[in-house]
């Protein structure tokens, strides 16, 4: 099992499953990170948090704690 947090900059992954509960999971889904979605990791902040993703044609910044709840392949 690999999470979005572990994906290298410049790589593409597909969302397999969302972990977490309640409001956190709902917020991640509202951002467009749902099962089957392709995610491209554009860049990482200088200190490593947050990471910038391209999802469904738009840019999204996501904290690494939230990215750890997204299982990818």
Q: Give the CATH number, domain containing residue 33.
A: 2.30.30.90
The total domain count for the chain is 1
pLDDT at 34 over 80: yes
pLDDT at 73 over 90: yes
Residue 21 pLDDT class (50, 70, 90 cuts): confident
Q: In degrees rounded to 5, what are phi and psi of residue 5?
A: -65, -30
Q: Cis peptide leading into 50, omega within 30 of 0? A: yes
Say which DSSP state 6 is in: G
Domain that holds residue 57: 2-72
Residue 22 pLDDT class (50, 70, 90 cuts): confident
pLDDT at 24 over 90: no
Cα 69–Cα 20–Cα 22 angle in degrees, nearest 5: 140
The closest of 10, 3, 1 to 52, measured between CA atoms, is 10
């Amino acid at each position: 099992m690999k999470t979005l947090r572990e994906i290298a900059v410049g790589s593409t992954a597909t969302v397999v499953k969302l972990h977490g509960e309640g409001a956190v999971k709902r917020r991640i889904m509202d951002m467009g990170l749902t099962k089957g979605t392709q995610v491209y990791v554009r860049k990482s902040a200088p200190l490593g948090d947050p990471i910038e993703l391209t999802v469904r044609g738009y840019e999204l910044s996501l904290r690494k704690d939230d990215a750890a709840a997204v299982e990818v392949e």
